[in-house]
Structures are given as structure tokens and as C-alpha cells.
């Protein structure tokens, strides 16, 4: 039985964790399913934006520690270091490599792995009663799925160090003040707020949106000179696209553009 759903409507794919009785903690089986579902959304021509959310009072309370303590799943009895490490097909890596925008609709709190998963999304919308809990060091581990990469870039070294080293929990208001979330809304408005933003993005030229995200990701590691070269090379095929023609035509005709994604 699946612990998540996948739905597509109006060019928006919604991936929902459906394990509220376990606060949407991630089992080993869910890791594989989430990977394949993210890949599916990224390859689906009918999807322009992805919304990742949960059911119940939590978005995701981290990895399933009950599964681990029983001797199965992540962190189970066999704690030997693997002979090889291949993280190419794990959710954080796949999420980071996605060209389509991903909005995290934090219906509730995110802890540990759930916090890293939220940080890996492009945009975050939080319920006013939600929290981000960087509880890794309190459990004897590190932010294993991107937190040590994302937080220093989002907050600067000193603030990231404070949060990670103390294992601090941040309220929605604190997340908004620190720039870790784009918007805080009442809990019953999270889904509608995330969908409204997703539809706003989906109405734009999808080739240009995906290229913009790809260039932003590349720019994290490039010099300015290298980056502007990549921007120019990306512009050339966009100039030749039907969407560019439609964008110019709709502007001159003073009407909303209708983009086909080609």
C-alpha cells in the first residue's frame, strides 16, 4: 500500500504524504517511491509545477525511527558502512536536479529529514503553526539530506551554525523572518496558497521557467563570466521557440499568453 498520492490538474502535480498516523515519517520503501514519483513529475509533459505536501498535523517528522529501532529500514541492525555509496537516485539528489519548480506546502511541522526535504524545494509556504526542527545532532546524526549545504547558503555561516549545532526548532514566524519560508498562512489556507502560486508559475512559458531554474542552480557554483555565457547559450533555443513568439505576440496584443511548452 502506498504512503503517498500523485495527482495532476491544470499542469500542477501534487505529491502528498498520506501517513498521518506516523506524522508522515519516511520509511525505506517511501524513499524509493518518492524518488520515482519526483522523476515521474519531472518527465511528465502535462506537469509544469510540483507541489509537495502532507496530510495530518505534520508535513514530515523525519525518517521512521520506529522502523530503525525494530532492526529494519534506515539505521537498522546492520550499521556497517556500505562498500559503495551511490546517492544519484535518492530523493534529495533527484529533487535538487529537477528542472521543474517545486513548492513545499508545509501543512505542519518538518523535522530532521523532513526539514531537509523542505529546504530542497524551491519555494516554501508554511502553516502558521508549523515548525522546522533541525534535530539531527540531538539524535546523534548530521543533516544527512542537504541541510549542511542549504542552510549556510540561505542564512550565512554563523546563523546556519547556530541552528545546526544547537539542533534548534524554528517557528513559522522565525522561518519567515530568516527567509526560510516565502509565506506563512493559516493552516487551513496552506493548500490553496500553494496551489495559487503553482498556477501563477504554470501560466508562464514552461521552457523559460525550467531554463531559469537550471541556470540558477548552475550559478551557485559558477563565476559570473562563465554564467553569462551559459545564459546566452540558453537564450538561443528559447528565441526559436513557439513560446517566445507567443509571449511577444500576446504582449503586443495586450492579452494573456497561452503557452504550449514548445
Over residues 110-150, the pLDDT tens digits come to 999 999 999 999 999 999 999 999 988 888 888 878 899 99
Whole-number pLDDT of residue 70: 53
Whole-number pLDDT of residue 250: 96
For the chain, the domains span: 4-202, 206-252
Mean pLDDT across 146-173? 95
Q: What is the model's pTM? A: 0.90
Q: Do domains 4-202 and 206-252 have the same CATH topology?
A: no
Mean pLDDT across 139-164? 91
Whole-number pLDDT of residue 137: 84
254 or 137, which is more confident?
254
Mean pLDDT across 74-79? 53
Task: Provide the pLDDT confidence category of residue 153 given band limits of 50, 70 and 90.
Answer: very high
Whole-number pLDDT of residue 64: 82
How far apart are alpha carbons 124 and 115 in whole angstroms? Answer: 11
| CATH number assigned to the domain covering 206-252 | 1.10.12
Mean pLDDT across 178-194? 97
4-202, CATH topology level: 2-enoyl-CoA Hydratase; Chain A, domain 1 (3.90.226)
Mean pLDDT across 182-196? 97
- What are the phi and psi torsion angles at 206 (to 5°)? -65, -35
Percent of the chain residues topping a pLDDT of 70: 92
Whole-number pLDDT of residue 256: 94
Whole-number pLDDT of residue 145: 85
Residue 107 has pLDDT above 60, yes or no: yes
Residue 227 has pLDDT above 60, yes or no: yes
- What are the phi and psi torsion angles at 222 (to 5°)? -105, 155
Whole-number pLDDT of residue 66: 72
Whole-number pLDDT of residue 63: 87
Whole-number pLDDT of residue 6: 97
Whole-number pLDDT of residue 141: 83
Mean pLDDT across 194-217? 97
Amino acid at each position: 500500500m502506498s504512503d503517498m498520492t500523485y495527482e495532476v490538474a491544470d499542469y500542477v502535480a501534487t505529491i502528498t504524504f498520506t501517513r498521518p498516523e506516523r506524522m508522515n515519517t519516511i520509511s525505506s520503501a517511501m524513499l524509493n517511491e518518492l524518488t520515482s514519483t519526483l522523476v515521474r513529475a519531472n518527465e511528465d509533459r502535462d506537469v509544469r509545477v510540483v507541489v509537495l505536501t502532507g496530510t495530518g498535523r505534520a508535513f514530515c517528522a523525519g525518517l521512521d525511527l520506529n522502523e530503525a529501532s525494530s532492526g529494519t529500514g534506515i539505521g537498522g541492525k546492520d550499521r556497517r558502512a556500505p562498500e559503495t555509496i551511490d546517492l544519484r537516485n535518492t530523493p534529495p539528489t533527484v529533487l535538487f536536479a529537477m528542472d521543474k519548480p517545486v513548492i513545499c506546502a508545509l501543512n505542519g511541522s518538518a523535522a530532521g529529514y523532513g526539514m531537509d526535504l523542505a529546504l530542497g524545494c524551491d519555494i516554501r509556504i508554511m502553516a502558521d503553526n508549523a515548525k522546522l526542527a533541525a534535530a539531527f545532532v540531538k539524535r546523534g546524526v548530521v543533516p544527512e539530506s542537504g541541510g549542511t549545504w542549504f542552510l549556510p547558503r540561505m542564512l550565512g555561516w554563523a546563523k546556519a551554525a547556530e541552528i545546526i549545532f544547537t539542533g534548534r526548532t524554528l517557528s513559522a514566524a522565525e522561518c519567515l523572518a530568516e527567509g526560510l519560508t516565502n509565506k506563512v498562512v493559516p493552516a487551513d489556507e496552506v493548500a490553496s496558497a500553494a496551489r495559487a502560486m503553482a498556477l501563477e508559475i504554470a501560466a508562464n512559458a514552461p521552457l523559460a521557467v525550467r531554463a531559469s531554474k537550471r541556470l540558477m542552480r548552475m550559478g551557485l557554483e559558477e563565476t559570473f563570466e562563465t554564467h553569462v555565457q551559459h545564459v546566452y547559450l540558453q537564450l538561443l533555443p528559447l528565441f526559436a521557440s513557439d513560446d517566445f513568439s507567443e509571449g511577444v505576440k500576446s504582449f503586443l496584443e495586450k492579452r494573456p499568453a497561452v503557452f504550449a511548452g514548445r
